[in-house]
Structure 1
Amino acid sequence: MSKHIVFMIVAAVLTTSCVTSKVYKDLEGKYASLKRKNRKMEDQFAELEKQNNTNKKSLNERTAQYEKVKAERDELQRNYDAAQANYENLKRSYDALEKNSSAAIAANSKKNRELLSQLEEKERVLAQERTRLDKLQRDLEARSQRVDELEGLIAAKDAKMQKLKSAISKALRNFEGKGLTVEERNGKVYISMENKLLFESGSWAVGAQGRKAVKQLGKVLAENPDIAVLIEGHTDDDPYTGNTQLSGNWDLSTKRATAIVTILVENKRIDPQNLTAAGRGEFAPVAGNDTSQGKSKNRRIEVILTPKLDEISKLLNDI
């Protein structure tokens, strides 16, 4: 473009006027100078254009990078905004939860204190109950031991009474069939002697045969000082019409029981404290009084031997 401008200027000058060679050479020199300047400017322009292209390319790259960074920034902003919104929601939820939790914790704490108090009370009651049960267990074991001891004593007493019955049966063997019987019932030994062996009718004096039987019985009793001896007198239901000193059958039965006691205490080895005399009259018959045979059975002395139960009674009281 610069060339054309210079050429047109020169042409205009030539056509409008005649110039000298000196002017022409000046102009030609100026033209050459301008031409050099133009080439230089063209080179500069090309260089600038090249630089411009490079800058353009760099600008495009930077623009693309900018757009990418901008898109990433926008995405980050959106993510940030979403996170911020989520954070606000979470904070509101947390604040509400904390508020509710504080009330719930306070309520639960109160309830826990109440439950703890109840638990401590139950533990105290349980400890008392355990102590009571332990005491009951010890008492039960002690009672069980005493029951075992009691059973042992009873078994020993029963064995002793069996042995005593055998000893009495052996001692009175000669009087069997003469109105004398020996038996063991309920842990006691019963010796029954009908009046025909001991007394005359209406009398309380013991005959020779009866005295002998009582003496034999006394020997066995003397060997067993821990036996309680009850002597009972019995009659039939016939009214007593004998000695006027007696008031009736009850009096007569008592006299006969006392007569047996008197013979027994002749044996100094027998403790009188072990002996008891009782009159039962006609009120404890063993047979009917409507026959002579029945009446004969009812007129009798019964000697009831009972083991002393002091130890057993003590154990029973301790149970």
Structure 2
Amino acid sequence: MKKNPIPVLFVLVVSAFSSCVVLSPKKHNALLAQRDSLSLGWEAARARIVSLEEEIASLKSDTSSLHARIAGLEGNVTGLNENLNSLRSNSSSEISRLSADLQKREARLKEVEEILRKRDEATNALRDKLQKALLGFQQSGLSVDIRDGKVYVSLTDKLLFSSGSIVIDDRGKLALQELAKVLKTQPEINISVEGHTDNQRVVNLGQIKDNWDLSVLRATSVVRFLTEGEKIENNRITATGKGEYQPIEQGSTPDARSRNRRIEIVLSPKLDELYNLIK
């Protein structure tokens, strides 16, 4: 431990005076300056010591806080390791379950795809049969095409009806008879008969008030012919009227209106097997 310089200086001064040594003013001033310098150094050292003690206290506090944080983190790590071990122990059984579920879903998807493939094959084959059977009527306003997995047989009104009439004429009956021959060989096919009109208002047609009436009555005329005349099963067939609201040709030219006045016979395969799969 360092000795206090102030007492030493005091002893020196006293000794100097006690020995009756007369100091010159220059030496006296030098001694005073040395005393003041030593005093200032002492005060600076004391201030530095206080500052270091405060820093030590702060470091001890920080160290304690860090120890607490480390302890908390170690606890978290322990908890995470326990969770990880638990997940690892359960992962094998969970992966096995998910794999089994995935295999079932893939098998079900293959079944659905196979049914849809068969449906598409049947739809294409039906279209081909109808096109062949109705070939002689295609120049008279009949067409056969596939839309959304269904076969559409479209017959313009001039092939089936006189203007404003709901009575099927002879040419139309011949076309429906050929259609019925094919339908009788396809009992798995559902039949929907849709009546369509143009956008011209109905005038002077007696009981027929508007295009709704005209489209519905023409559809039911076709249904009656197919069920009563051609013996198509009633539970396979429905009649609907669409009026003027589902045109296939925009515009009001005579040709556009003629194309919109039509009967569409929509043929769709029964999908009971598919519906059972996706329940």
Work out whether the TM-score is over 0.5. yes
Is 1:280 the counterpart of 2:273 in the alignment?
Answer: no
Is 1:200 the counterpart of 2:141 in the alignment?
Answer: no
1:256: Cα distance to partner? 0.5
Asked if the contact 1:194/1:299 (under 8 Å) is kept, the reply is: yes
1:267: Cα distance to partner? 5.9
Counterpart among 152, 174, 178 of residue 136 in structure 2 = 174
Alpha-carbon distance between aligned partners in 2 of 1:196 and 1:248, rounded to the nearest angstrom = 19
Greater mean alpha carbon deviation, residues 171-180 or residues 260-269:
260-269
| 2:121 counterpart letter in structure 1 | A
Alpha-carbon distance between aligned partners in 2 of 1:115 and 1:287, rounded to the nearest angstrom = 72
Alpha-carbon distance between aligned partners in 2 of 1:115 and 1:239, rounded to the nearest angstrom = 82
Can you list the C-alpha shifts for 1:228-276, whole angstroms capped at 9, x where unaligned?
2111101111101133322200111011111111111136763322212
Counterpart among 231, 234, 237 of residue 196 in structure 2 = 234
* Matched residue SS, 2:228: coil
- Which has the larger Rg? 1
Greater mean alpha carbon deviation, residues 120-129 or residues 274-283:
120-129
Paired residues for 1:156-171 under 5 Å: 156-171=118-133
Partner of 2:174: 212
| 1:228 counterpart letter in structure 2 | N
Alpha-carbon distance between aligned partners in 2 of 1:242 and 1:139, rounded to the nearest angstrom = 66
1:312: Cα distance to partner? 1.9
Asked if the contact 2:177/2:230 (under 8 Å) is kept, the reply is: no
Between the two proteins, what is the percent identity of the paired residues? 37
* Matched residue SS, 1:266: helix
Which stretches in structure 2 are left out of the alignment for 5+ residues? Answer: 1-73
Alpha-carbon distance between aligned partners in 2 of 1:298 and 1:155, rounded to the nearest angstrom = 32
Which stretches in structure 1 are left out of the alignment for 5+ residues? Answer: 1-111
Asked if the contact 1:257/1:279 (under 8 Å) is kept, the reply is: yes
1:134: Cα distance to partner? 2.0
Partner of 1:308: 270
Partner of 2:185: 223
Tell me how large the CA RMSD over aligned residues is: 2.4
Alpha-carbon distance between aligned partners in 1 of 2:214 and 2:270, rounded to the nearest angstrom = 29
Alpha-carbon distance between aligned partners in 1 of 2:80 and 2:145, rounded to the nearest angstrom = 67
Can you list the C-alpha shifts for 1:271-301, whole angstroms capped at 9, x where unaligned?
3222121111111111134211111111100
Partner of 1:72: none
Partner of 2:258: 296
Partner of 2:100: 138
Alpha-carbon distance between aligned partners in 2 of 1:221 and 1:199, rounded to the nearest angstrom = 22
Partner of 2:33: none
Alpha-carbon distance between aligned partners in 2 of 1:293 and 1:222, rounded to the nearest angstrom = 34
Alpha-carbon distance between aligned partners in 2 of 1:196 and 1:289, rounded to the nearest angstrom = 19
What TM-score does the superposition give when structure 2 sets the normalisation length?
Answer: 0.68
Alpha-carbon distance between aligned partners in 2 of 1:236 and 1:136, rounded to the nearest angstrom = 56
* 1:183–1:114 CA distance, 2 compared to 1 (3 A): closer
Asked if the contact 1:197/1:209 (under 8 Å) is kept, the reply is: yes
Paired residues for 1:55-204 under 5 Å: 121-204=83-166
Is 1:262 the counterpart of 2:262 in the alignment?
Answer: no
1:173: Cα distance to partner? 1.3
Alpha-carbon distance between aligned partners in 1 of 2:165 and 2:272, rounded to the nearest angstrom = 37
Alpha-carbon distance between aligned partners in 1 of 2:106 and 2:160, rounded to the nearest angstrom = 48
Asked if the contact 2:190/2:237 (under 8 Å) is kept, the reply is: yes
Can you list the C-alpha shifts for 1:37-64, whole angstroms capped at 9, x where unaligned?
xxxxxxxxxxxxxxxxxxxxxxxxxxxx
Asked if the contact 1:202/1:242 (under 8 Å) is kept, the reply is: no
Alpha-carbon distance between aligned partners in 1 of 2:231 and 2:199, rounded to the nearest angstrom = 37
